[in-house]
Amino acid sequence: MTTKSAAAATLATAYGYPRQGRGRELKKAIEGYWKGAVSAEALLATAADLRRENWAQLAGAGVQEVPTGDFSYYDHVLDTSVAVGAIPARHRAAVEVDALDGYFAMARGTQDVAPLEMTKWFDTNYHYLVPELGPDTVFAANPAKAVGELREALLLGHAARPVLVGPVTYLLLAKPAPGVAEDFQPITLLDRLLPVYARLLAELRAAGAEWVQLDEPALVQDRTPAELNAAARAYRELGALTERPKLLVASYFDRLGDALPVLAKAPVEGLALDFTGPAAANLDDLAAVGGLPGKRLVAGVIDGRNIWINDLGASLATLATLLGLADRVDVAPSCSLLHVPLDAAAERDVDPQILRWLAFAKQKAREAALLARGLREGTGAITAELAANRADLASRANSPITRDPAVRARAAAVTPDDTRRAQPYPVRAEAQRARLGLPLLPTTTIGSFPQTTELRLARADLSAGRIDAAAYRERMEAEVREVIGYQEKAGLDVLVHGEPERNDMVQYFAEQLTGYLATRHGWVQSYGTRYVRPPVLAGDISRPHPMTVDWFRYAQGLTGRPVKGMLTGPVTMLAWSFVRDDQPLAETARQVALALREEVTDLEAAGAAVVQVDEPALRETLPLRAADRPAYLDWATQAFRLATSGVRADTQIHTHMCYAEFGAIMTAIDELDADVISLEATRSHMEVAGELAGAGYPREVGPGVWDIHSPRVPSTEEAVELLRAGLAAIPAERLWVNPDCGLKTRGWTETRASLDSLVAAARRLRAELAG
């Protein structure tokens, strides 16, 4: 039942904000620190400036309660590990000597110490550092960061709410530490962890926190009764504390399902729920459990993961219903705004009409404030804004940019035969071996080679008009010659051209396909200091001209060894873009797949014996709920096969995946019907090889033996050890040797040394197998 007092209490808030700054100042400061060019003091000062600017932007947009603690130098899950004292034994000495350097050692590793494993944050393209826990783990509260950032915000005059990863999610995201039994369940450490959270909460309260947000997104996944009981126990115990602030338990990315009544009954003062996309079901579920009488509800009615403007009228209708289900309803984006760029107003090159369809973090904060105002003061107070929003929504829906009849007719004409190779794998494998003539344990790389400062400067010079296309092409060809020559000298068997001309594995193709829109400043954090600019998928997709064929021809003309054609797959083209939300993803994927199919067949016609179509996002995009997965995997694997099934038997199709938990998609990996798959395996100690063998995977596999997200150079002995583990699961006739991922972010010195180790390891094992 709507009450005036409930509406009057409504305010706008947010769960988190982009960390990098307008000009990616954080990235530059951290990388400068790693190189010794920026002092620790200067890095800390830059971070403080960015936090201050973020809070000022949120407050300026009308957000009345800002988050603290969401800022991170690398990753917020790693920050949680530090806050609870879960430091792996191999990193403790480094942390004790210097906390900042020890922190980065956990994230990146050193030459002597391996980093924490990295994987995807639920179904996003953000990567987190996986906590390593075991029966002997001893937790200890370290509230310095959380308390320090809260005090900063309070001193600046902001109403602030600290944000922490909740204890249940933290444990569910963790894995057994090295040497711990694989069946160890970190959630069994809950009783040991809760007193540490109690201490953190007490310290935050003492520092002035009225509310603390505990993020529990793991509870939107399918959870066992035991895990739900653990959540109930956790919040029963935390809720019973006397020295604590008010608790807001937050979930996002999907509906809470069975966890909703657990949290609704918990003795906490508020819940934050997602009401966008599949999580819109939270509205009916909340009504079914009787709402949240006596509690605060933070309603995530603005999509925090995509960049389209909000339908303000629809959101107001949802909020009006929610006013009858809680004592207080506040308005927020559905999740942290970490997943979207900072400010759409910076995009000076975007058509002004299209720009009105876009909302980045700053605009989403304003939308939240506008909706909160509409609830507090009535819709009459925002009449003009609602009218403008309706006009912008209609403009997008009716724009010829969004619909191409020819593309839609072609997609509708696809038949099942278009999504199947003409010959079964055994026939293809024999033909490919005869054509390629590769040795046992063939060596290759994933695609990209180091993107040097010189390459980036050449790209910037082209963009600024300081050089013309011919000069740029000449510079890129020189780089391709160097990369091909190096690979031949190093002894690699299947080569790549190195991709010097590519700014990003998705953006490069998006800029050549109709229906896509590129941004200049739309940076989003992928991991650590790695930022990407996801293109905007605004309309129907087609390929006006070949995209990579000329580069392949040039590279292949420099060598007698096979050079891979390199493409990004349809699912990844969607997952790493801001995808349109006005039609089913399956339809968009089919359009992209048809464009890629043209490119694959053109590469084959140009002489490519090997074409790699990367799908690192296949696992990432897997729905969080098991019931939603079969439909997704059906259209996702069909899209890949549609892109790759138009080639001859002797043309070898590769794909690549990285930094994800693959166990849940083993059947789908088989359904891709790729001839060779390469996967990340180093940080996970070759686990994926055993998983593939256990699933009966029948084709060729390249589990990585060099972790390219760490500056460590692996020794030949390390690579040999990993390959032996791979050979224990996969026959030598089907095992490839390669890095975990592309080499774009690495330097040439470490690249040469690491690939020397990789090739030497392959040669040593070939000799052993031959002897």
The C-alpha atoms of residue 700 and residue 677 are separated, in whole angstroms, by 6
The one-character DSSP state at 534 is: P
* Residue of 91, 339, 521, 709 marked catalytic: 709
Q: List, for residues 395-441, the tens digit of each pLDDT value.
A: 999 998 899 999 999 999 999 999 999 999 999 999 999 999 999 99
Which backbone phi and psi does 215 adopt, to 5 degrees? Answer: -80, 125
Q: List, for residues 126-168, the tens digit of each pLDDT value.
A: 999 999 999 999 999 999 999 999 999 999 999 999 999 999 9
- Name 735's Cβ contacts closer than 8 Å, sequence gap at least 6: 441, 700, 701, 702, 703, 723, 726, 727
Q: List, for residues 17-75, the tens digit of each pLDDT value.
A: 999 999 999 999 999 999 999 999 999 999 999 999 999 999 999 999 999 999 999 99
SS3 assignment, position 340: coil
The C-alpha atoms of residue 735 and residue 491 are separated, in whole angstroms, by 17
Point out the least confidently predicted range of 287-301, 586-600, 664-678. 664-678
Question: Which residues face 737 on adjacent strands?
Answer: 443
Q: Which pLDDT score, from 0 to 100, does residue 463 have?
A: 85
Statement: residue 272 has pLDDT above 50 = yes
DSSP secondary structure letters along 475-488: HHHHHHHHHHHHHH
Q: Which pLDDT score, from 0 to 100, does residue 659 have?
A: 57
The C-alpha atoms of residue 411 and residue 179 are separated, in whole angstroms, by 51
Q: Which pLDDT score, from 0 to 100, does residue 671 have?
A: 95
Which backbone phi and psi does 481 adopt, to 5 degrees? Answer: -60, -40
DSSP secondary structure letters along 683-752: TTTTHHHHHHHHTT--SEEEE-SS-TTSS----HHHHHHHHHHHHTTS-GGGB-B--SS--TTS-HHHHH
> How many percent of the chain have pLDDT more than 90?
91
Take residue 681 and report the two structure tokens written for it.
Answer: 């395996």
Q: Which pLDDT score, from 0 to 100, does residue 526 have?
A: 94
Q: Which pLDDT score, from 0 to 100, does residue 685 have?
A: 83
Q: List, for residues 345-383, the tens digit of each pLDDT value.
A: 999 999 998 999 999 999 999 999 999 999 999 999 999
Point out the least confidently predicted range of 282-296, 342-356, 483-497, 657-671. 657-671
**Which single residue is written with the structure tokens 């970490």?**
338
Q: List, for residues 432-472, the tens digit of each pLDDT value.
A: 999 999 999 999 999 999 999 999 999 889 988 999 999 99
* Overall average pLDDT of the 559-576 stretch: 97
220-254 burial code (b ≥16 CB/10 A, e <16)? bbebeeebbebbbbbbebbeebeebbbbbbbbbbb
Q: How far is CA 252 from CA 15, 19, 138, 332, 367, in A?
A: 10, 19, 30, 11, 18
* Overall average pLDDT of the 87-113 stretch: 95
The better pLDDT of the pair 526, 6 is held by: 526
What is the residue-averaged pLDDT of the chain? 95
Question: Which residues face 610 on adjacent strands?
Answer: 564, 652
Q: Which pLDDT score, from 0 to 100, does residue 1 have?
A: 31
Q: Which pLDDT score, from 0 to 100, does residue 3 have?
A: 41
Q: Which pLDDT score, from 0 to 100, does residue 9 have?
A: 76
Confidence grade of residue 660 (pLDDT, cut at 50, 70, 90): low
pTM: 0.89
* Overall average pLDDT of the 604-610 stretch: 98
Q: Calculate the CA dihedral of residues 760, 762, 767, 771 and round it to 10 degrees.
A: 150
91 is catalytic: no
Statement: residue 6 has pLDDT above 60 = no
Q: Which pLDDT score, from 0 to 100, does residue 711 have?
A: 85
Confidence grade of residue 111 (pLDDT, cut at 50, 70, 90): confident
- As a three-state string, the secondary structure of 86-123 is CCCHHHHHHHHHCHHHHHHHHHHCCCCCCCCCEEECCC
SS3 assignment, position 520: coil
Statement: residue 604 has pLDDT above 70 = yes
Statement: residue 528 has pLDDT above 50 = yes
